[in-house]
Amino acid sequence: MSKHKATLPRIILSSVGIILITVVLAWGAIKGIKLLKENSQNANNSRTEISETTQTAENSVPEERSVEESVPESTVESVEESVEESFEESSEEESVPEPYVPVVYDYEPHAVEETEPSRLISWTRIIVDGSDVSSYEAEKEVNMVDWQSYAQEDGIFTFRGNNFRNSAVVGNVTMTEKKFDVDNSWMRWSDYLDTKDGSRWTGNGWTGQPLMRRWTPEEKAGFVTMYDWAKEKDELVEVIYASLDGNVYFLDLDTGENTRPYLQIGYVFKGAGTLDPRGYPILYVGSGYWSGPQNTSKVFVISLIDGSIMYEIPLNDPYAPRTVPFADGSALICAETDQLIYPTENGIIYIVNLNTEYDVEAGTVSINPETPIRWTYNIKRNWMWLGMEDSPIIYHHYLIASDNGGTLFCLDLNTLQLVWAQDVLDDTNCTPVLEIEEDGKAYIYTSTSFHGGWRAPMDGTAPVPVWKIDAETGEIIWRTDYICSTIEDLSGGTLGTLALGTGELQDYLYITIARIDDDWEGDLIALNKQTGEQMWHYHCEYSWSSPVCIYDQDGHGYVLFCNFGGYLVMLDGITGEVVDIMNLDFNIEASPAVYENRLVVGTRGQKIWGVTFK
């Protein structure tokens, strides 16, 4: 209801309501009378065909003929036309949704003494058109003021959904029994990829979240590789899943059936990738290990019209300060500037002007990418690694990310100048999450892992903090520590991304922390957002998977997560009590995504599951 309507005196609203009710009843009575008149020769039969509304109107006028005879025909027609016109106008007004208008809060990030970038960063470098520049000013300014308007279409477009990284869920679930519906769930096989160093990569791993997209009939009509049945299916939601086995799978959310042939790219894909949030049929995905014919790693831009590779960024980049050419994180696309923004593990943030053109009627999509703008840096703790494995936040024109050397930083994308940098102690693999509180203040929630040999020996233990951080200054609001062990190449601590509750779970955040109490065990923990106080925890096999919050038809909240034991667990979001557990057969490092009543996640055991709720 609009504000000016909400301020009308109650007596006026009541009067209007009485008038409307009277008109509706009169219109119904007139309709009933006309139907009786037109079918007077078979009144008994016609009475069973009259709508419920008409029957109600008849019952309110016992002597139909006397009423009909007392109303002149011209008056009946005049009232009928007037009422029908008002109903048509009302229907038209109700069918046009109000445009979404974002609430824009002030955000002016700046450093304080403890977050001066020079404390942690030794140098930065900007490369434009292949040459170093001392200063930079963006020709087109990035400006993402909220998360709700990041994607313009229906789906899950990137890791944790959007530029705030706050959700991998679309809609609510409908549960009467509050169980996983095993009988109506589906499973599809994935594969494995052997790389030249002798490694075997199976199924889906960390971070491994599926993407989803509800395509329109017009969009599907132009897809060359999509099967006819999928094009013809109403309301098709397609699961798009890049996997460790070097393939990208395309599945029907409802059944798990292949909607088109899978793409055999031949590179290890750890991360989720990104769909174009403008609705363009483009997938952006980076590989996460030395693989492919050249035994290297790349970022791929793939047409979802015909499956062709439109563009590549080789990550064995001569400008890179680190020789690990991986891209485990998920990029963001700025719709306003038509740019791909991709932090990578080689220590470079790539900004690519795409010059995209999409013609839905012709079924064509193209890009004409310019030479990437590169921002890179080095850290003062040279015994640690630089480079970024997480997925970036963008708020207004500022990028926030963590690196492998324990630095959480804020970068102005319009000038490529560092604003602040906070010490987060260790190799950070989880993605930070941004939330704006009711007063318009923005905060970051994040954690880190335990890399053996940096803060403690490989066979030792170290604190793994969970932080709430002021997004403007980088200052720490609160910190809650957990003591973890680690294993070489299989870190302890936090690798999954935090889940922030909403609705009745508004006060809670949820985090999985690996290797608490034992190398193969861990906790899902619920913390109070305002204080960092632990509200409850659930102890089980360790987890690298990111939890998700779902809400049922009554608004009650649950937290779901997967673990090393192969279990999908549903807990009550407030109490932490177990609601249901489903065995998915093998280690689950990947993070699930939920679209209405279906959850999708892959396992290291080469299975992709579509789990239904009942």
HEC-encoded secondary structure of 24-75: HHHHHHHHHHHHHHHCHHHHHHHHHHCCHHHHHHHHCCCCHHHHHHHCCHHH
Do both 263 and 171 map to the same domain? yes
End-of-domain residue from the set 95, 124, 157? 95
Please give the span between the terminal C-alpha atoms of the chain, in angstroms, as a whole number.
Answer: 34
| 103 in a structural domain | no
> Do residues 607 and 204 touch, judged by C-beta distance below 8 A?
no
Number of domains in the chain: 2
| 587 in a structural domain | yes
Q: What is the CA radius of gyration of the chain?
A: 29
Work out the number of other CB atoms within 10 angstroms of the CB of residue 558. Answer: 21
Gap between the Cα atoms of 442 and 470, Å rounded: 7
The pLDDT value given to residue 94: 53
pLDDT tens readout for residues 544-564: 999 999 999 999 999 999 999
**Who's near 431: CB < 8 A, 6+ residues apart?**
159, 160, 165, 207, 329, 390, 391, 393, 402, 497
Do both 89 and 117 map to the same domain? no
Do both 264 and 382 map to the same domain? yes
| 100 in a structural domain | no
**Who's near 503: CB < 8 A, 6+ residues apart?**
551, 555, 557
Do both 118 and 90 map to the same domain? no
Do both 76 and 124 map to the same domain? no
The pLDDT value given to residue 12: 32
| 594 in a structural domain | yes
**Mean pLDDT per segment of 10 residues, for the chain of length 614 residues?**
32 36 39 37 35 35 36 43 46 64 94 98 97 96 96 95 97 96 98 97 97 97 98 97 98 98 98 97 98 96 98 97 97 98 98 98 98 98 94 98 97 98 97 97 98 95 98 98 95 97 98 96 98 98 98 97 98 98 97 98 98 97
Gap between the Cα atoms of 239 and 167, Å rounded: 16
Amino acid in position 180: F
The pLDDT value given to residue 38: 39
Question: Could you list the residue range(s) of the whole structural domain that residue 62 is in?
Answer: 3-95
Do both 299 and 440 map to the same domain? yes
Amino acid in position 362: A
> Do residues 283 and 277 touch, judged by C-beta distance below 8 A?
no
The pLDDT value given to residue 11: 31
> Do residues 343 and 329 touch, judged by C-beta distance below 8 A?
yes
Gap between the Cα atoms of 147 and 168, Å rounded: 12
Do both 75 and 118 map to the same domain? no
Q: What is this structure's pTM?
A: 0.85
The pLDDT value given to residue 397: 98
Do both 38 and 136 map to the same domain? no
Do both 117 and 10 map to the same domain? no
The pLDDT value given to residue 273: 97
Gap between the Cα atoms of 502 and 141, Å rounded: 31
Find the helix or strand (DSSP H, E) in which 12 lies: helix 10-38
Find the helix or strand (DSSP H, E) in which 472 lies: none
| 197 in a structural domain | yes
Do both 43 and 180 map to the same domain? no
| 107 in a structural domain | no
The CATH number that applies at residue 422 is: 2.130.10.10
Do both 424 and 487 map to the same domain? yes
Gap between the Cα atoms of 567 and 601, Å rounded: 11
| 307 in a structural domain | yes
End-of-domain residue from the set 95, 129, 154? 95
Gap between the Cα atoms of 174 and 195, Å rounded: 43
Do both 85 and 225 map to the same domain? no
| 435 in a structural domain | yes
Q: Which of 494, 477, 399 is nearest to 443 (CA)?
A: 477
